[in-house]
Amino acid sequence: MKISRRLQFGRMVTPIPDRSRPVYRWFQMEESFSSQLVLTLCDLWGLGSGSLVVDPFCGAGTTLLACKERGIQSVGFDVHPLCLFVSRAKTRNYDVAGLEESVRQILEAEAEPAEGPPEWTERYFPPGLLREILSLRGEIERLEGNERMFL
């Protein structure tokens, strides 16, 4: 493989271009790169709907999401459970009406926190806010499937 200098990729190798884009901005890592880089490389290499992209270090899921948007099948792996969770959450197909209904139910619920807060959290959150966060968390944990992952 020939290595060449491509200065046009400079800004694309950071997550900065995606910081204002829905879904991409949900979670980024220091090592993240832009969806523009993924799509540019797909174009350069002639990848299309019949291609398969394998990302062995999927991290924040940028490659997987960009490929999904382009109609390119992709598979990602990572050793970090948080990276796997984030990548799955970003690339799922969501039912907007189902999400809206789940949010409505959560907001209408008069939930009590299922358990007390961890000790360390009391230093960072006012008691009322912490109670509300834990109540919302309890309601979200009652959900199943894509709605739970999204929220």
pLDDT digits (tens, 9 = 90+) for 64-94: 999 999 999 999 999 999 999 999 999 999 9
Measure Cα distances from 137 to 97, 111, 112, 118, 130 in Å. 21, 10, 10, 14, 10
Question: What is the spatial distance between Cα 113 and Cα 56, in angstroms, rounded to a whole number?
Answer: 38
Flag whether pLDDT at 114 surpasses 90.
no
Domains of the chain: 7-91 (3.40.50.150), 96-150 (no CATH)
- pLDDT score of 42 more than 90: yes
- The amino acid that residue 58 corresponds to is C
> Would you state the pLDDT for residue 81?
94
Residues in a beta bridge with 53: 74
Q: Span 41-69, mean pLDDT?
A: 96
Q: Residue 23 and residue 7: Cα distance in Å, rounded?
A: 27
pLDDT of 92? 93
pLDDT tens for each residue of 92-106: 999 999 999 999 988
- Give the pLDDT mean for 57-64: 96
**Is residue 118 pLDDT above 80, yes or no?**
no
Q: What's the confidence (pLDDT) of residue 128?
A: 81
Cα-Cα-Cα-Cα torsion 59, 63, 67, 69, nearest 10 degrees, comes to 80
- Asked if residues 69 and 50 have their Cβ atoms less than 8 Å apart, the reply is no
Provide the pLDDT for residue 110.
Answer: 77
When pLDDT is cut at 50, 70 and 90, the band that residue 142 belongs to is confident
